[in-house]
């Protein structure tokens, strides 16, 4: 696919500025005004589910909760047999993005095809209108809906339910979506006892692609990693996302942002399945992701870490590097192996 540029010099949208003072802005992506008005320029187009990207995948949109406007785009590989299920959360700093964005539609259709799986791409509520933990709550609601469908599936959902291997379910996401996947997993662990936690689903693993975490203390890669103009995540943008998404009055050591803020003891107590973490070599989050993986390993968790050389944050959807295509193929291969082991 063609590269998507996040360079605000290219994608800058004109604004009539009728809402007065801008108090927060990530150029080209989101603009928050003092009067509460929020603008999200259409930097990436949204596409309907019937836009074909690969021939052997069927995609449809389903409503999960009409009252919170929670919905999902479901991708089903046409391969024979029952297939693993991935519940996927998109990136965008909790503040932008959509399950309908063309870049996610293409990436997830390709992943469903190449990894032979079913993917539920969740369209959760965005901050700052709905600050965290709203996205986590939507993730729990989406999981609960999947569980209900597995138990009492209606005929209208037979087209994907009949293809699901419910004994092989994974939570997955990239960037802020990976943060959501992790926090939904920890909430599932604390909400249910191990025996009844996910029945009839078997929660087998978590896939975290460039997970968006932070902290008050800067890591070396956050301080020193020079980002090009088309980078998907700069340190300034990261800070703005956290100001807009964390509960009011919180700093970056809030556990939603920094899962290591309370030490390793909390990690040790969590009962989590196998975790795959994808790290990008040129991402400002590289060191923080590595520290997170090390802490999980020390806490006795099974962690598989993969580093993608020569690419930055969100390369798998933005294709903003000449190495992106090769690295995406590697990522899809790694995910396929992880969900089938």
- Could you give the residue numbers annotated as active site? 175
Return d(Cα 142, Cα 151) in angstroms, integer: 14
HSE-up of residue 137 (Cα within 13 Å, Cβ side): 12
Return d(Cα 238, Cα 73) in angstroms, integer: 27
Tell me the CA distances in angstroms from 109 to 76, 128, 221, 330, one per residue in order: 8, 29, 32, 16
3-state helix, strand, coil in the chain (%, to 5): 35, 20, 45
Pair 99, 121: CB distance under 8 Å? yes
Residues 6+ apart with CB under 8 A from 13: 28, 39, 41
Return d(Cα 195, Cα 155) in angstroms, integer: 28
Provide the 3-class DSSP secondary structure of residue 246.
coil
Where are the extended beta strands (E) located within the chain?
A: 22-26, 30-33, 38-39, 57-65, 70-77, 83-89, 118-123, 164-174, 203-209, 274-280, 303-308
């Amino acid at each position: 696919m063609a590269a998507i540029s996040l360079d605000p010099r290219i994608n800058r949208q004109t604004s009539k500025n009728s809402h007065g003072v801008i108090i927060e802005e990530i150029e080209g992506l989101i603009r928050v005004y003092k009067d509460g008005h929020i603008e999200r320029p259409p930097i990436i187009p949204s596409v309907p589910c019937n836009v074909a990207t690969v021939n052997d995948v069927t995609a449809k949109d389903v409503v999960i909760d009409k009252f919170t406007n929670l919905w999902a785009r479901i991708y089903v590989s046409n391969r024979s047999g029952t297939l693993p299920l991935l519940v996927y959360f998109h990136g965008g700093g909790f503040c932008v993005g959509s399950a309908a964005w063309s870049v996610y539609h293409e990436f997830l259709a390709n992943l469903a095809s190449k990894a032979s799986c079913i993917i539920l791409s969740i369209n959760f509520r965005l901050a700052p209108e709905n600050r965290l933990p709203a996205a986590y709550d939507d993730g729990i609601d989406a999981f609960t809906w999947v569980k209900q469908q597995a138990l009492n599936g209606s005929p209208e959902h037979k087209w994907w339910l009949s293809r699901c291997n419910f004994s092989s379910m994974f939570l997955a996401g990239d960037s802020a979506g990976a943060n959501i996947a992790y926090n939904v997993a920890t909430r599932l662990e604390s909400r249910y006892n191990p025996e009844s936690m996910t029945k009839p689903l078997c929660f087998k693993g978590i896939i975290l692609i460039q997970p968006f975490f932070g902290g008050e203390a800067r890591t070396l890669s956050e301080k020193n990693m020079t980002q090009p103009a088309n980078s998907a995540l700069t340190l300034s943008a990261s800070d703005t996302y956290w100001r807009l998404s964390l509960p009011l009055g919180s700093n970056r050591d809030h556990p939603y942002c920094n899962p290591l803020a309370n030490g390793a003891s909390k990690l040790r107590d969590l009962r989590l399945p196998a975790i795959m973490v994808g790290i990008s070599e040129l991402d400002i989050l590289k060191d923080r992701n590595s520290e997170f993986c090390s802490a999980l390993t020390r806490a006795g968790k099974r962690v598989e870490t993969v580093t993608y050389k020569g690419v930055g944050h969100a390369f798998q959807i933005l294709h903003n590097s000449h190495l992106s295509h090769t690295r995406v193929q590697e990522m899809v291969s790694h995910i396929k192996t992880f969900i089938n082991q």
